[in-house]
Amino acid sequence: MILTVTLNTALDLTYHVPALRPRASHRVSDVRERPGGKGLNVARVLAALGHEVTVTGFTGGATGRRVRELLTGTAGVTDALVPVAGATPRTIAVVDSGAGDTTRLNEPGPVIAPAEWSAFQEAYGGLLGDADAVALCGSLPPGVPVGAYALLVREARAAGVPVLLDTSGEPLRRGIAARPDIVKPNADELAELTGSHEPLRATQDARRRGARSVVASLGAGGLVATTPEGRWRATPPARARGNPTGAGDSVCAGLLSGLVEHLAWPDRLSRAVALSAATVPTPTAGEFDRAAYEALLPTITLTAEATAA
């Protein structure tokens, strides 16, 4: 079982319009509703790849109940979310079908009480016993300590469970010092962490800060990775058009599935890039076009990079 943690769950609503124009009325051509939050997106991609996944984190209110209803219908995903008094927020993505761009509106989430954080920690500790790997994904809701991910990384390591961390800012800075097995920042998050805008050099710098492996997402440019086995750049054959929301979460799913399947790093990276590119044309995050994924997988370019000085 793979465990994914989403402390900021959400209900994702995706609207498609022919063209998004400021100060204008729009006729929506398609509406999609899905469980949201980075870890839930990762879980749905993992389940589609054939893995058993358990999801945990916080959920509350009518929106939280809807998230749980939608999870009930997702094959391969087990709901272990922790209820809270506050309401789960909605995230609204408006996809401009003509331009291929997406505009996002994110509602504020609930404030987590100390007793709710303690209840989550107890649930998390119990779930680690059956986990083959764990993903800690997304931002921290108000009320959760800024060092929460560092604490959760250390607990996973103590239990012998490999852990992937995908967050940003101070939670990333503190979490990476706890020595996660994989850290997956995007280019901006990596630059904020290291001060370097050269991705390969920055991944090596981030690895010195504690992570065993660092995989940086460069959007349409693919991935760069620094690992104990080497450094690679993985790129898709062309830029995918569509909704990029969730593409980074599919990268996490590719890396985690490759880890538990004991794939070599080049194969993990190829899978992650192909999944990410196959996510962009789909209507919502947490999904990928299987035919596109299978067609893309053999076309990913892998380049071994020399170790930076």
Catalogue the active-site residues: 249
List Cβ neighbours of 240 (8 Å cut-off, separation of 6 or more): 220, 277, 278, 280, 281
Backbone angles phi and psi of 262, in degrees to 5 = 60, 35
Compute CA distances 100 → 128, 297, 308, whole Å: 40, 23, 36
- Taking alpha carbons only, the member of 56, 16, 59, 34 closest to residue 281 is 16
User: What is the phi-psi region of residue 196: left when phi exceeds 0, alpha when psi lies from -120 to 50, beta otherwise?
Assistant: beta
Question: Do residues 71 and 21 touch, judged by C-beta distance below 8 A?
Answer: no
Residue 213's Cα: distance from chain center in Å?
A: 16
Exposure of 300 in the CB half-sphere (CA atoms within 13 A): 29
Write down the residue that tokens 């991935």 correspond to: 223
Question: Do residues 171 and 195 touch, judged by C-beta distance below 8 A?
Answer: no
Pairwise CA distance, residues 58 & 110, whole Å: 9
Pairwise CA distance, residues 232 & 204, whole Å: 11
For residue 106, the cross-strand partners are 91
- Taking alpha carbons only, the member of 181, 183, 175, 177 closest to residue 152 is 175
Pairwise CA distance, residues 262 & 276, whole Å: 20
